């Protein structure tokens, strides 16, 4: 609930409006894990709240810390026994938390571990928030950036995503600046257009991964639905409405999308939109035989972009030793359970 909704609800139950402010602060600033902690509320009210409301709090199932770069990966348990993963990366400019937006994913990108078992369910706004809150509590450090780049397709869980962004950036809560929130999408065209109308200042990242429809279709089933031309049109619209430049994500797969010609085509797409390109050497997953582009090819790709005046950053790989890429940890966890406990498919 937003603060206004909580105020209205508590008032309707005969409570004083200032109680809402107190509760909201416990939840979204002090990051309490339940009503019991709200010690400036009467015991009776705390007990009543337990009857009236559901308090979302995550179980910490596992934490892994990278010995290479301090990246931490968290596996959190949800009320229904499902698990999701979140990652905390330390950068010079602060801590960035990568959260999941769904349990599993139905987009089917061929190189991605999150989608291998399909979609289980959408995450609630509170379950997305709780990932950020739990990471803050467990690390004892402030989170400055939130990226919705974990498991799931955020625009396939649109309403919950928007409510999550509203709460995350609310001045009465953690108050993370919208500019420090990035949403990554595989490219659901109508949803990109809808998002353009929301007057948000978030960053939109587009997982492009190929510069021709033919190659994109080989990597991403969503490319069967929307052509690159339609996507670029939607990106232009997004920029027009929000003034926010799009970021292209491009995972380099050896011999598939990493030629000089690919780089030239990508530059031609990025140019009119003035896009920044993030180059990510694909993270190999054991279920697929995709291989990372060699370092030399990655650099040559970047050089070609540069020659065409496109800024391309080679994404530093983080947490390689802790199953850092999308869906890997959750998958390993499910795979390690006996069939009766796991979903049997992992």
What is the rounded CA–CA span in Å between residue 306 and residue 130?
Answer: 40
- Least CB distance to ligand SAH at residue 326 (A): 4
Neighbours of 183 (CB within 10 A): 22
Site for ligand SAH in 132-151 (CB under 6 A): 149
Count the residues in the chain.
346
For tokens 């396939």, what's the residue?
156
Please choose, out of 1-9, 122-130, 279-287, 300-308, the segment that lies near ligand SAH by the rule CB under 6 A: 279-287
Neighbours of 26 (CB within 10 A): 19
**244, 202 in Cβ contact below 8 A?**
yes
What is the rounded CA–CA span in Å between residue 59 and residue 68?
Answer: 26
Please choose, out of 73-81, 189-197, 229-237, 282-290, the segment that lies near ligand SAH by the rule CB under 6 A: 282-290
Nearer to ligand SAH, 7 or 102 (CB): 102
Site for ligand SAH in 97-136 (CB under 6 A): 107, 109, 111-112
Q: Return the structure tokens found at 304.
A: 């070609």
- Least CB distance to ligand SAH at residue 186 (A): 3
Nearer to ligand SAH, 95 or 115 (CB): 115
285: contact with ligand SAH by CB under 6 A: yes
Nearer to ligand SAH, 95 or 283 (CB): 283
Nearer to ligand SAH, 207 or 257 (CB): 207
| Cross-strand partners of 204 | 183
Candidate residues 15, 120, 153, 262; the one interacting with ligand SAH per rule CB under 6 A: 153
Of 143, 253, 159, residue with least CA distance to 208: 253
Of 96, 86, 84, residue with least CA distance to 122: 84
List, by residue number, the catalytic residues.
85, 326
DSSP H helical ranges for 140-203: 158-168, 189-196
96: contact with ligand SAH by CB under 6 A: no
282: contact with ligand SAH by CB under 6 A: yes
* Interacting residue ranges for ligand SAH, rule: CB under 6 A: 107, 109, 111-112, 149, 153, 184-186, 207, 249, 251, 280, 282-283, 285, 325-326
């Amino acid at each position: 609930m937003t603060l206004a909704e909580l105020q209205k609800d508590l008032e309707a139950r005969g409570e004083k409006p200032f109680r809402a402010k107190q509760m909201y602060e416990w939840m979204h600033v002090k990051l309490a894990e339940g009503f019991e902690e709200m010690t400036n509320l009467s015991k009776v009210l705390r007990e009543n709240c337990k009857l009236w409301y559901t308090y979302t709090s995550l179980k910490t199932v596992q934490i892994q810390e990278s010995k290479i770069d301090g990246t931490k990966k968290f596996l959190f348990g949800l009320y229904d026994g499902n698990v999701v993963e979140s990652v905390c990366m330390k950068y010079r400019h602060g801590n960035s938390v990568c959260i999941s937006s769904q349990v599993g994913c139905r987009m089917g990108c061929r190189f991605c571990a999150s989608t291998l078992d399909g979609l289980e369910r959408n995450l609630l706004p509170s379950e997305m928030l709780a990932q950020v809150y739990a990471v803050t509590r467990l690390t004892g450090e402030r989170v400055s950036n939130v990226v919705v780049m974990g498991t799931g397709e955020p625009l396939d869980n649109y309403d919950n995503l928007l409510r999550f962004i509203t709460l995350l950036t609310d001045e009465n809560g953690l108050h993370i600046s919208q500019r420090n929130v990035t949403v990554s999408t595989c490219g659901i065209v109508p949803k990109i257009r809808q998002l353009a109308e929301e007057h948000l200042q978030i960053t939109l990242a587009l997982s492009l991964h190929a510069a021709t429809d033919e190659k994109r279709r080989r990597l991403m089933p969503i490319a069967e639905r929307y052509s690159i031309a339609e996507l670029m049109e939607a990106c232009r619209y997004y920029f027009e409405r929000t003034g926010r430049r799009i970021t292209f994500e491009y995972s380099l797969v050896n011999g598939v999308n990493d030629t000089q010609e690919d780089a030239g085509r990508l530059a031609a797409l990025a140019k009119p939109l003035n896009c920044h390109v993030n180059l990510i050497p694909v993270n190999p997953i054991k279920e697929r035989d995709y291989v990372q582009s060699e370092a030399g090819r990655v650099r040559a790709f970047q050089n070609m972009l540069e020659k065409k005046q496109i800024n391309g950053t080679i994404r530093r790989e983080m947490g390689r030793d802790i199953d850092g890429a999308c869906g890997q940890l959750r998958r390993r966890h499910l795979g390690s359970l006996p069939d009766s406990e796991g979903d049997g498919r992992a």
